[in-house]
Structure 1
Amino acid sequence: MPDQRTKFERLNALHHRDTAFVIPNPWDAGSARLLASLGFEALATTSAGYAFSKGKRDSFSALTRDEIIANAAEIVAATDLPVSADLEDGFCAQPEICAETIRMACEVGLVGGSIEDATGADDAPIYDLSQAVERIQAAAEAARDLPFLLTARAENYLWGRPDLSDTIKRLQAFSEAGADVLYAPGLPDIEAIRTVCRAVDKPVNVVMGLKGRSYTVQELSEAGVRRISVGGSFARAALGALMRAAQEVRDSGTFGYAQDALPDALVSQLMAQDKRTDRQ
């Protein structure tokens, strides 16, 4: 098992290659094991996927910081890969709490994480730039002496503010405040993605699997992207397969879905082999 510093160095190095790498998003330990078995080089948690697994919607009020950190800790323990975490807005408006969140994340073995500038409030969904920068600066200061790669997210496009100039301005300010990776989910097209990559001086993450046009890893690499995540889309794909299987049984009384299911032997092989020794 590589130590935390080694994992951090591996994750950091992935962002400085000539082409983009894909960092898929497991939502629990089991999905992390499946993804690790496929040869991915790093993983990132998804608050959306985890919320769905708990029967909750993806929102600021659905999950607590302790729940998010505990879920991330289980994913870290399930794989030798570097793991970064979706840390939402740092779980508080105050910069010092964002910093505390970073330290807590590192304590459970995470080697990266993101802080976003969305507030979760309908009337003012995005933090003012000055406050958003203060929060990233506090998080960056907390991460500076840790094996921790900080991603700063500009959330305009997810909250009905399709302002590319403001998004770039925010990403540039986050970079100056100490963020290591920059991320603006929901950019509308490849030209906007290319414009963002040209305008900033840090590696850029782009999410695929949302609504709208999809681009290949090669296309995104050529646009300047260095990291590609999938957010909650793998979790939604799994839920889609479950829904289709259940509808088949309900509507047709057949069980053809089982032909596409992973074999039990393969799943068992990929899961932890530990055995309890305290059973009576």
Structure 2
Amino acid sequence: MTASDLRALHLGRTPGDPLVLPGPWDAASARVLADAGFPALATPSAGVAASLGYEDGATPAAEMFAAVARIARAVSVPVSADIEAGYGLAPRELVERLLTAGAVGCNLEDTVDGVLVDAGWQADRLAGVRAAAGDELFVNARVDTYVTGVPEGVDQEAETVRRALLYVAAGADGVYPIMAPPEALPRLSAAVPVPLNALARPDGPGPRRLGELGAARVTFGPGLQRRAMAALGGFADGLRTA
């Protein structure tokens, strides 16, 4: 599968029918999700980290790319990889490692070590990734304004839009304002001319409602991995008393 296949899945979505991309954390979970009929998958860095025994954000680059490669080899649908802030790799090397792993898309966030980076710097980095990748990657630019916050006196939603538009101008195929409140999605989607990714959370609206609010793409972060581990924990507790 190619980036063109993944790109096409984002287009022409009607309200209430977003592209739903569940997040596998290993090859076995990827096969389960692909067999369930999902047309593409999006790895969550936190879920992969947990499966490898690391805290979120602490996975070595080599182990993350190896995990993505195992997932991509296990399925015949497009796989997008969450590569956090890019592990300090230069754009060309980052793209080469993604493509070698078999990913046809990526999330690239604008937070490094918990700090929101300068938007112009991030736009330049995205432009470098776009130039190195050509059309071979669907680049989903994550905007972390709702995760890290913004400086006092700065309007959070306006800053989100400003960053998103800079990233789109740099070549991003999609924008992911992670943790954006549902009520902001209609305004954000209206302001940004590319598919908007929304995060589905256990305590929030489901994918269909997020689509009605303006999301063209819905992902789950490490939510599925955590639910699977909770289910396993419940099963394990039952085994002790069986």
Q: What is aligned with 1:112? A: 105
Runs of 5+ consecutive residues of structure 2 not aligned to the other structure: none
Q: What is aligned with 1:191? A: 183
Superposed CA deviations along residues 73-95 of structure 1, whole A, max 9, x for unmatched, are 11111000000100110111xxx
Matched, 1:30 2:28: yes
User: SS of the residue aligned with 2:197?
Assistant: strand
Contact 2:200 2:206 (C-alpha < 8 Å) held by counterparts: no
Q: What is aligned with 2:236? A: 246
Structure 1 residue 247 displacement after superposition: 3.0
Q: What is aligned with 1:129? A: 119
User: SS of the residue aligned with 1:185?
Assistant: coil
Q: What is aligned with 1:157? A: 146
Larger Rg: 1
Structure 1 residue 9 displacement after superposition: 2.1
Q: Spell out the pairing of 1:56-95 with structure 2 (5 A cutoff).
A: 56-59=54-57, 62-92=58-88
Q: What is aligned with 2:43? A: 45
Runs of 5+ consecutive residues of structure 1 not aligned to the other structure: 255-280
Contact 2:5 2:78 (C-alpha < 8 Å) held by counterparts: yes
User: SS of the residue aligned with 2:13?
Assistant: coil
- Cα distance in 2 between the residues matched to 1:218 and 1:35: 18
Q: What is aligned with 1:273? A: none
Pick the aligned partner of 1:203 from 192, 195, 202: 195
Q: What is aligned with 1:21? A: 19
Contact 1:203 1:226 (C-alpha < 8 Å) held by counterparts: yes
- Cα distance in 1 between the residues matched to 2:39 and 2:171: 25
- Cα distance in 1 between the residues matched to 2:92 and 2:44: 20
User: SS of the residue aligned with 2:59?
Assistant: coil
Structure 1 residue 18 displacement after superposition: 2.4
What one-letter code is carried by the residue in structure 1 that aligns with 2:74? Answer: A
Contact 1:181 1:203 (C-alpha < 8 Å) held by counterparts: yes
- The alignment's TM-score, normalised by the length of structure 2, stands at 0.91
Percentage of identical aligned residues:
34
Structure 1 residue 27 displacement after superposition: 0.3
User: SS of the residue aligned with 1:39?
Assistant: coil
Contact 2:139 2:173 (C-alpha < 8 Å) held by counterparts: yes
Superposed CA deviations along residues 207-262 of structure 1, whole A, max 9, x for unmatched, are 1126xx42233322222211111110000001111222233444xx13xxxxxxxx
Superposed CA deviations along residues 75-117 of structure 1, whole A, max 9, x for unmatched, are 111000000100110111xxx7133212210122211111110
- The alignment's TM-score, normalised by the length of structure 1, stands at 0.79
Which of 1 and 2 has higher RCO (CA within 8 Å, sep 6+)?
2
